[in-house]
Chains A and B, each alone.
Chain A
């Protein structure tokens, strides 16, 4: 089991090195013509004005919020899904399904609430 994750770590390190290789090549090969106008950000031709940081709008946050809370639900459903068939063989399938159904219904009410209150609207 440790070996699998050793492969993951080595893959990450080798990935960063291999992805960095072309960047290093470009650093070595590419020409450098430094003049300030080139570094201006591209605002489709218009001279950039003001700071880049977005003005305040809440809907991005609402979607991230609903995402986090529904992603957390995955913690409970993944082990349930893996172990579901074993419980069926032990004749406990109905009981286990009822547990998960209760879990999903409660969270479904959360989604319904967000839907009715318009938190999922983009406008």
Chain B
């Protein structure tokens, strides 16, 4: 019973701020409500026994990406967004399209019989993730550093005016 209660609370903590992000008129408040949504998702990861991924979610999403988004909003005077109309004119059509896709997704996901397997994840999943990274997923480990390098160089070239 406890886990279901926790799940419902965390699902609400994820979905309600996410709704606020997409509908709020004030842009900084939208970015601010992004943080509880990320923390709610981190809570869901904890319920799924993915402790390391939950820690990384809090650290990277709520701690770094949200800060970057807040920085850019404040730097591009988005903060004054309150006066400017935020939603474009295709609001109704967009809403319908999103609702249709969500309904299709729900129908697809909830109706198929997933091959559930018993068993639970290794307890110390930091060590398990570490050994997975270093043995079976070595390529992902190394490619990620190349992706980080490329995106760092690319973002710096785009953002800075060539002097």
Contacts and interface: CB of A to CB of B under 8 A. Distances in A.
B43 A106 contact: no
Interface residues of A, number: 47
Contacts of B155: 65, 69
B156 A65 contact: yes
Given A86-B127, A106-B146, A99 B138 contact: yes
Nearest to A69: B152
Interface residues of B, number: 50
Contacts of A54: 74-75
B64 A72 contact: yes
A103 to B, nearest CB: 5
Contacts of A72: 60, 64, 148
B129 A110 contact: no
B67 interface: yes
Given A68-B65, A79-B52, A62 B156 contact: yes
A99 B60 CA distance: 23
Contacts of B134: 79-80, 83, 87, 96, 99
Interface stretch (A18-26, A27-35, A41-49, A111-119): A111-119
Given A1-B49, A114-B152, A103 B56 contact: no
Interface of B: 3, 6, 43, 46-47, 49, 51-52, 54, 56, 59-60, 63-65, 67-68, 71-72, 74-77, 79-80, 123, 126-127, 129-131, 133-134, 138, 141-142, 144-146, 148-149, 151-153, 155-156, 159-161, 163
Interface of A: 1-2, 5-6, 9, 51, 53-54, 56-58, 60-62, 64-69, 71-76, 78-83, 86-87, 96, 99, 102-103, 106-107, 109-110, 113-114, 117-119
